[in-house]
Amino acid sequence: MKKLTFAVCILLTTHTIGYATTTVPAELVGNAEAGKVKSTNLACVGCHGTDGNSLGPTFPNLAGQHASYMVQQLQAFKSGARSDPSMTPMAMPLTEQDMVDLAAYYTSQTVKMSTASEDSVKLGQKIYRGGNKKTGLPACAGCHGPQGLGNPVANYPVLNSQHQEYTVKQLKDYRSGARKPEGNAAIMRDIATKMSEDEMKVVTDYMQGLH
């Protein structure tokens, strides 16, 4: 079997995560095959599925997500900059090599397309592509792109086909301060405070069906 590797190290050399800057040694290269084995051994599959398509709407899909973003979040869970009762203990024993291998595997997988409800498409699309001028809410597409593919250089994650329930929770955590983004992601705190719960629901439903 051909050995699959992903040179995610180029994007991962230095990132601001939570309250601190974490550095990944430039010589680390993610190995997707090793990541696949580790995803099973480390029990990642129990929540995120064997191919990164999660087993429930409260767990994020990881298939096709940017490797740089996944490593950044794993580092944040391990350092305590981001806290979650499930992910924090999972991330604690991970080495930097584990992180880049897992990221290489999941980014090589294909996310399963989902759908949005017809009731959400019109308003959700309006918010995603144009924001809300009355409240100063910027368009989601400005950072995450017209198709929700994000920006790996800026570490803006892929949002298309992500579970609505998971994404709504993240927006609420940004708004409440439970999730404390720094660096390029700090804008999410301001964005979430400008969103009503109805706006959160329709735009995340729209993103769930975005292809």
Domains of the chain: which residue ranges?
Answer: 5-107, 118-208
Q: Would you state the pLDDT for residue 27?
A: 73
Q: Residues 134-144: what's their mean pLDDT?
A: 97
Q: Would you state the pLDDT for residue 211?
A: 85
Q: What CATH number was assigned to the domain covering residues 5-107? A: 1.10.760.10
Q: Would you state the pLDDT for residue 114?
A: 95
Q: Would you state the pLDDT for residue 8?
A: 47
Identical fold, 5-107 and 118-208: yes
pTM as predicted: 0.88
Average pLDDT, rounded, for the chain: 90
pLDDT above 80 (res 63): yes
Task: Summarize pLDDT for 177-200 with one digit per residue, the tens.
Answer: 999 998 889 999 999 999 999 999
Task: Summarize pLDDT for 105-137 with one digit per residue, the tens.
Answer: 999 999 999 999 999 999 999 999 999 999 999
Q: Would you state the pLDDT for residue 23?
A: 57
pLDDT above 90 (res 83): yes
Tell me the three-class secondary structure of the chain, residue by residue: CCCCEECCHHHHCEEEECCEEEECCCCCCEEHHHHHHHHHHCCCHHHHCCCCCCCCCCCCCCCCCCHHHHHHHHHHHHHCCCCCCCHHHHHCCCCHHHHHHHHHHHHCCCCCCCCCCHHHHHHHHHHHHHCECCCCECCCHHHHCCCCCCECCCCECCCCCCCHHHHHHHHHHHHHCCCCCCHHHHHHHHHHHCCCHHHHHHHHHHHHCCC
Least confident of 7-21, 76-90, 197-211: 7-21
Domain 118-208 in this protein, CATH class: mainly alpha
Q: Six-digit token pair at 44?
A: 């990642």
